[in-house]
Copies of this chain bind each other. A is one copy, B any other.
Protein backbone atom coordinates (compact mmCIF):
# COMPACT_ATOMS: atom_id res chain seq x y z
CA UNK A 1 0.00 0.00 0.00
CA UNK A 2 2.78 2.38 0.96
CA UNK A 3 4.48 1.80 -2.38
CA UNK A 4 1.36 2.57 -4.38
CA UNK A 5 0.89 5.85 -2.51
CA UNK A 6 4.48 6.86 -3.10
CA UNK A 7 4.11 6.06 -6.77
CA UNK A 8 1.05 8.31 -6.90
CA UNK A 9 3.03 11.06 -5.16
CA UNK A 10 5.88 10.74 -7.64
CA UNK A 11 3.49 10.85 -10.59
CA UNK A 12 1.55 13.77 -9.08
CA UNK A 13 4.76 15.75 -8.48
CA UNK A 14 5.86 15.00 -12.03
CA UNK A 15 2.49 16.15 -13.40
CA UNK A 16 2.62 19.50 -11.58
CA UNK A 17 6.04 20.28 -13.05
CA UNK A 18 4.96 18.98 -16.48
CA UNK A 19 2.06 21.45 -16.46
CA UNK A 20 4.51 24.27 -15.69
CA UNK A 21 6.75 23.18 -18.55
CA UNK A 22 3.78 23.02 -20.92
CA UNK A 23 2.67 26.51 -19.97
CA UNK A 24 6.15 27.82 -20.74
CA UNK A 25 6.17 26.11 -24.15
CA UNK A 26 2.71 27.47 -24.98
CA UNK A 27 3.72 31.02 -23.97
CA UNK A 28 6.52 30.82 -26.53
CA UNK A 29 4.36 29.16 -29.26
CA UNK A 30 6.98 26.45 -29.14
CA UNK A 31 6.19 22.95 -30.40
CA UNK A 32 7.72 20.30 -28.13
CA UNK A 33 7.86 16.57 -28.90
CA UNK A 34 8.80 13.68 -26.62
CA UNK A 35 10.38 10.90 -28.70
CA UNK A 36 10.25 7.41 -27.19
CA UNK A 37 11.24 3.89 -28.26
CA UNK A 38 13.19 0.77 -27.32
CA UNK A 39 16.97 1.08 -27.34
CA UNK A 40 18.16 0.78 -30.92
CA UNK A 41 14.95 1.65 -32.78
CA UNK A 42 16.76 4.52 -34.46
CA UNK A 43 15.59 7.62 -32.56
CA UNK A 44 18.84 9.55 -33.02
CA UNK A 45 19.15 8.75 -36.74
CA UNK A 46 15.48 9.75 -37.16
CA UNK A 47 16.15 13.06 -35.39
CA UNK A 48 19.25 13.72 -37.51
CA UNK A 49 17.09 13.32 -40.64
CA UNK A 50 14.31 15.48 -39.18
CA UNK A 51 16.81 18.25 -38.37
CA UNK A 52 18.29 18.07 -41.88
CA UNK A 53 14.81 18.46 -43.39
CA UNK A 54 13.79 21.41 -41.21
CA UNK A 55 17.05 23.24 -40.58
CA UNK A 56 16.53 25.85 -43.26
CA UNK A 57 13.13 26.89 -41.86
CA UNK A 58 13.12 26.23 -38.13
CA UNK A 59 15.27 27.01 -35.11
CA UNK A 60 15.51 23.85 -33.06
CA UNK A 61 16.92 22.54 -29.79
CA UNK A 62 17.28 18.94 -28.64
CA UNK A 63 17.34 17.52 -25.10
CA UNK A 64 19.06 14.13 -25.06
CA UNK A 65 18.20 11.62 -22.29
CA UNK A 66 20.59 8.71 -21.77
CA UNK A 67 21.71 6.53 -18.89
CA UNK A 68 25.35 7.15 -19.75
CA UNK A 69 27.60 8.74 -22.42
CA UNK A 70 27.02 11.82 -24.55
CA UNK A 71 27.26 9.90 -27.84
CA UNK A 72 23.80 10.92 -29.05
CA UNK A 73 24.24 14.57 -28.06
CA UNK A 74 27.50 14.71 -30.03
CA UNK A 75 25.75 13.31 -33.10
CA UNK A 76 22.94 15.86 -32.81
CA UNK A 77 25.35 18.76 -32.13
CA UNK A 78 27.15 17.96 -35.36
CA UNK A 79 23.86 18.67 -37.19
CA UNK A 80 24.25 22.30 -36.13
CA UNK A 81 21.44 22.66 -33.57
CA UNK A 82 21.55 23.43 -29.86
CA UNK A 83 21.66 20.29 -27.72
CA UNK A 84 21.92 19.41 -24.06
CA UNK A 85 22.64 15.96 -22.62
CA UNK A 86 20.91 14.66 -19.49
CA UNK A 87 22.56 11.54 -18.07
CA UNK A 88 20.07 9.79 -15.79
CA UNK A 89 22.67 7.50 -14.15
CA UNK A 90 20.36 4.52 -13.72
CA UNK A 91 16.93 6.14 -14.05
CA UNK A 92 15.04 4.51 -16.91
CA UNK A 93 13.10 7.59 -18.05
CA UNK A 94 13.22 11.38 -18.04
CA UNK A 95 11.07 13.40 -15.64
CA UNK A 96 9.49 16.83 -16.01
CA UNK A 97 11.93 18.19 -13.37
CA UNK A 98 14.91 17.04 -15.39
CA UNK A 99 13.47 18.94 -18.35
CA UNK A 100 12.74 22.11 -16.38
CA UNK A 101 16.28 22.08 -14.96
CA UNK A 102 17.84 22.33 -18.43
CA UNK A 103 15.33 24.73 -20.06
CA UNK A 104 17.19 27.88 -18.83
CA UNK A 105 20.11 26.92 -21.08
CA UNK A 106 17.95 27.76 -24.13
CA UNK A 107 16.44 31.06 -25.24
CA UNK A 108 12.93 29.68 -25.78
CA UNK A 109 11.74 32.83 -27.56
CA UNK A 110 14.27 32.07 -30.31
CA UNK A 111 13.06 28.52 -30.98
CA UNK A 112 10.36 26.87 -33.11
CA UNK A 113 10.80 23.26 -31.97
CA UNK A 114 12.18 21.48 -28.91
CA UNK A 115 12.77 17.75 -29.29
CA UNK A 116 13.19 15.58 -26.21
CA UNK A 117 14.82 12.23 -26.95
CA UNK A 118 13.83 10.04 -24.02
CA UNK A 119 15.85 7.13 -22.56
CA UNK A 120 15.48 4.01 -24.72
CA UNK A 121 12.68 2.16 -22.95
CA UNK A 122 9.15 1.20 -23.99
CA UNK A 123 7.80 1.05 -20.43
CA UNK A 124 8.31 3.88 -17.89
CA UNK A 125 8.65 6.91 -20.21
CA UNK A 126 4.95 6.41 -21.05
CA UNK A 127 3.96 7.22 -17.44
CA UNK A 128 5.88 10.50 -17.17
CA UNK A 129 4.44 13.59 -18.83
CA UNK A 130 7.28 16.01 -19.56
CA UNK A 131 5.05 18.90 -20.63
CA UNK A 132 5.39 18.05 -24.33
CA UNK A 133 2.70 18.85 -26.88
CA UNK A 134 3.13 15.62 -28.78
CA UNK A 135 4.34 12.11 -28.04
CA UNK A 136 6.07 10.32 -30.85
CA UNK A 137 6.95 6.62 -30.51
CA UNK A 138 9.26 4.75 -32.85
CA UNK A 139 9.00 1.05 -33.53
CA UNK A 140 11.52 -0.56 -35.86
CA UNK A 141 10.64 -3.47 -38.13
CA UNK A 142 13.16 -5.97 -36.61
CA UNK A 143 11.43 -5.60 -33.22
CA UNK A 144 8.28 -7.31 -34.49
CA UNK A 145 4.59 -6.42 -34.69
CA UNK A 146 3.67 -7.85 -31.29
CA UNK A 147 5.36 -5.00 -29.39
CA UNK A 148 2.22 -2.86 -29.77
CA UNK A 149 0.06 -5.22 -27.71
CA UNK A 150 2.89 -6.23 -25.37
CA UNK A 151 3.80 -2.61 -24.45
CA UNK A 152 0.36 -0.98 -24.85
CA UNK A 153 0.75 2.11 -22.67
CA UNK A 154 3.35 3.91 -24.79
CA UNK A 155 1.46 3.24 -28.02
CA UNK A 156 -1.91 4.21 -26.51
CA UNK A 157 -0.56 7.58 -25.36
CA UNK A 158 1.22 8.47 -28.63
CA UNK A 159 0.14 11.16 -31.09
CA UNK A 160 2.31 9.65 -33.81
CA UNK A 161 3.91 6.24 -34.32
CA UNK A 162 6.90 6.02 -36.66
CA UNK A 163 7.63 2.60 -38.13
CA UNK A 164 11.37 2.84 -38.76
CA UNK A 165 13.78 0.60 -40.69
CA UNK A 166 11.26 -0.24 -43.43
CA UNK A 167 14.29 -0.93 -45.65
CA UNK A 168 14.66 -4.18 -43.63
CA UNK A 169 11.10 -5.39 -44.39
CA UNK A 170 12.29 -7.94 -46.98
CA UNK A 171 14.60 -9.56 -44.38
CA UNK A 172 12.54 -9.64 -41.15
CA UNK A 173 9.24 -11.31 -40.17
CA UNK A 174 7.20 -8.11 -39.74
CA UNK A 175 3.46 -8.11 -40.53
CA UNK A 176 2.50 -4.64 -41.83
CA UNK A 177 -1.21 -5.45 -41.89
CA UNK A 178 -1.07 -6.55 -38.25
CA UNK A 179 0.88 -3.38 -37.36
CA UNK A 180 -1.92 -1.16 -38.68
CA UNK A 181 -4.62 -3.39 -37.18
CA UNK A 182 -3.03 -3.41 -33.69
CA UNK A 183 -2.63 0.37 -33.70
CA UNK A 184 -6.20 0.83 -34.90
CA UNK A 185 -7.49 -1.23 -31.98
CA UNK A 186 -5.31 0.41 -29.33
CA UNK A 187 -5.19 4.02 -30.57
CA UNK A 188 -7.47 4.62 -33.58
CA UNK A 189 -6.56 8.29 -34.07
CA UNK A 190 -2.79 7.96 -34.02
CA UNK A 191 -0.85 9.29 -37.03
CA UNK A 192 1.47 6.67 -38.56
CA UNK A 193 4.52 7.11 -40.75
CA UNK A 194 6.63 4.44 -42.45
CA UNK A 195 10.24 5.53 -42.80
CA UNK A 196 13.82 4.41 -43.15
CA UNK A 197 15.73 7.07 -41.25
CA UNK A 198 19.01 5.47 -42.33
CA UNK A 199 18.16 5.64 -46.05
CA UNK A 200 16.09 8.84 -45.78
CA UNK A 201 12.92 7.22 -47.14
CA UNK A 202 9.42 8.35 -46.17
CA UNK A 203 10.43 11.48 -44.22
CA UNK A 204 8.30 13.93 -46.28
CA UNK A 205 4.93 12.96 -44.80
CA UNK A 206 6.30 13.12 -41.27
CA UNK A 207 7.82 16.56 -41.84
CA UNK A 208 4.57 17.80 -43.37
CA UNK A 209 2.60 16.53 -40.35
CA UNK A 210 5.04 18.19 -37.94
CA UNK A 211 4.76 21.50 -39.80
CA UNK A 212 0.97 21.27 -39.53
CA UNK A 213 1.20 20.66 -35.77
CA UNK A 214 3.42 23.69 -35.37
CA UNK A 215 1.08 25.84 -37.46
CA UNK A 216 -1.82 24.79 -35.18
CA UNK A 217 0.07 25.95 -32.09
CA UNK A 218 1.02 29.28 -33.62
CA UNK A 219 -2.59 29.78 -34.76
CA UNK A 220 -4.04 28.90 -31.34
CA UNK A 221 -1.64 31.32 -29.66
CA UNK A 222 -2.46 34.02 -32.20
CA UNK A 223 -6.14 33.70 -31.32
CA UNK A 224 -5.37 33.93 -27.62
CA UNK A 225 -3.26 37.04 -28.06
CA UNK A 226 -5.88 38.96 -30.10
Chain B residues in 8 Å Cβ range of A71: 146, 149-150
A120–B151 touching, CB < 8 Å: yes
A136 interface residue (CB < 8 Å to B):
no
Kindly state the separation between the CA atoms of A206 and B171 in the bound complex, as whole angstroms: 24
CB nearest neighbor in B for A172: B168
Known: A119-B123, A123-B92, A123-B119. A153 touches B40 (CB 8 A): no
Q: Is A104 an interface residue (CB 8 A)?
A: no
Q: Whole-angstrom distance between the alpha carbons of A206 and B142 in the complex? A: 22
Residue among A127, A142, A172, A198 having the largest count of chain B Cβ atoms under 10 Å: A142
Out of B123, B127, B142, B147, which one reaches A140, CB within 8 Å?
Answer: B142
Q: Pick the residue among B121, B150, B171, B198 that contacts A122 (CB under 8 A).
A: B121
Binds B, one of A49-57, A61-69, A105-113, A213-221: A61-69
Chain B residues, CB < 8 A from A144? 40
B150/A66 in contact, CB under 8 A: yes
Q: Which residues of chain B have C-beta atoms less than 8 A from A39's C-beta?
A: 38, 122, 143, 147, 150-151
A200 in the interface, Cβ–Cβ < 8 Å? no
Contact between A38 and B120, CB atoms less than 8 A apart? yes
Q: How far is the CA of A39 from the CA of B68 in the complex (A)?
A: 20
Asked if A173 lies at the interface with its beta carbon under 8 angstroms from chain B, I say yes
Chain B min CB distance to A200 (Å): 14
Residue of B nearest to A40 (CB): B143
A3 to chain B, nearest CB (A): 8
Q: Does A222 contact B (CB under 8 A)?
A: no
- With the chains together, A140 CA to B153 CA distance in Å? 24
**B150-A68 in contact (CB<8A):** yes
Is A79 an interface position by the 8 A CB rule? Answer: no
Task: State the Cβ distance, A220 to closest chain B Cβ, in Å.
Answer: 33
A67 touches B123 (CB 8 A): yes
A22 interfacial by beta-carbon distance below 8 Å: no
- Chain A, residues 150-179, CB within 8 Å of chain B (1/0): the string is 111100000000000101100111000000
Give 6 nearest A-B pairs by CB, closest first: A40-B143, A92-B123, A142-B142, A38-B38, A38-B39, A39-B122
